[in-house]
Amino acid sequence: MNIMQKIKVLYITDNNDSEYPDLLMNYLNVSEYRNRLSIEQVDAKLINSEMDSLDYIAVLTEVDPTLLELNNKDNVLYLTESASVESNSIFKYQPLDQIFKAILNLYYDDKGKLLSTNDRKSTSIISFTSANGGTGKTVLSLNFAKFLASHSLKVLYLSLERLTSYNSYLVGEKEKSSELYYYLKDDPLRLFNKLPQLIDTDKELKIDFIPTNLELDEVKSLTKLHLEELLKTIVDLNEYDFLIIDMDSENNMLREEIMSRSHEVFWILNPDETSFMKTHFLIDTEEYKKIVEKKMVHFIINNYGGSIFSNKSNFELSPKAYIDHQSGWQNINDREKLLGDSKIGIKLLKCLPKISIGLEEDEHEGRV
């Protein structure tokens, strides 16, 4: 399991009093910052000879920084006994959360994210969309997420539907809320800090997800800038191998933006003329033509019953895979559909030649 990259903090003291450093470190271990920071205490007498070999990212010091031979003084916070207006000084006796926040601010850019490092995880964004409802987009996206997670890959599932249905498939411990919407709209600088607290986990399926409870008007009011902020923040968490996005089938503005930022797109259709007609109408517009030409868009026929209407060739769509109609699903709940399937994920993965997770080829290549 991969963990979030932590900021390693060096705490420099000039006396033998360990009460304050101990208080700081003990509080860190039970605070919301414990997954973002780690603190190591060092005596100022040793700092000159050892500083070059210490792998630190930020420095807290009770010693005047001008008296220390530090290679980089831009990452130093000077703990003072009284309030100061100096930019890199911070009052020692204030809520400890404020000190942790100041450390994070040193290494956030103007949008509140960690500066880039050389050991970043590459997060692949794979989105699922459709031109109309009722195509089974959600169950396919979750089956693919489950398949990836079952192969020890870290997966975050994100539903941006106006009428969410993922909650009938996933089981978590956190209550659904609109906090994600609040931070995107009103407090984006705190989103990086708060997002890990909003993420829940389906422990059985090993899928992380954000239990959102967004109103229709809230989803409709999200802009391209909000979406860009959210996707960049998730990637900058540096934790996930895959981000699976379940898109809304009616919000064309968000769909266009998500598709343009995805590495791969699954476009789900039913095997009927209406589904093909609506899809063709959308991708024939200039905005979608550009995306389809540049991106790997995979048309998937779901609920396939062995044949498609006679004039499907008029719509110039080339399906990449066919997912058979699951007659047995009529008598089971959504959770059981997700737990019981073992083939849909493999079928979808075979549409993505750029992604390899070391699977052996199945002996039988038949339809799912």
Residue spans per domain, the chain: 7-106, 124-349
Q: Which fold, 7-106?
A: Rossmann fold (3.40.50)
Q: What is the pLDDT of residue 13?
A: 83
The tens digit of pLDDT for each residue in 320-360 reads 999 998 888 888 999 999 998 889 999 999 998 877 775 54
Q: What is the pLDDT of residue 72?
A: 62
CA 149 to chain centre: 14
Question: Whose structure tokens read 């809520």?
Answer: 95
Secondary structure (3-state) at 166:
helix
What are 116's two structure tokens?
Answer: 């880039």
124-349 is classed CATH 3.40.50.300: yes
Rg, the chain, Cα only: 25
Domains 7-106 and 124-349 share a fold: yes
The tens digit of pLDDT for each residue in 88-128 reads 788 888 888 888 877 777 655 433 444 333 445 689 999 99
Q: What is the pLDDT of residue 53?
A: 43
Mean pLDDT over the full length of the chain: 81
- Determine the length of the chain: 368
Least confident among 59-73, 187-201, 246-260, 283-297: 59-73
Q: Which helix (H) or strand (E) holds 37?
A: strand 37-43
* CA–CA gap between residue 180 and residue 182 (Å, rounded): 5
Taking Cα atoms as reference points, which of 180, 219, 215, 218 lies closest to residue 197? Answer: 180
Q: What is the pLDDT of residue 49?
A: 45
Alpha helices in the chain (DSSP H): 19-30, 44-50, 96-106, 137-149, 179-186, 191-198, 216-221, 224-236, 252-261, 273-283, 286-294, 334-340, 344-349
Four-point Cα dihedral 70, 71, 73, 79, nearest 10: -30
The tens digit of pLDDT for each residue in 217-275 reads 777 778 888 888 899 889 888 889 999 999 988 777 888 889 988 999 999 999 999 99
More confident residue, 115 or 39: 39
Four-point Cα dihedral 108, 95, 41, 8, nearest 10: -20
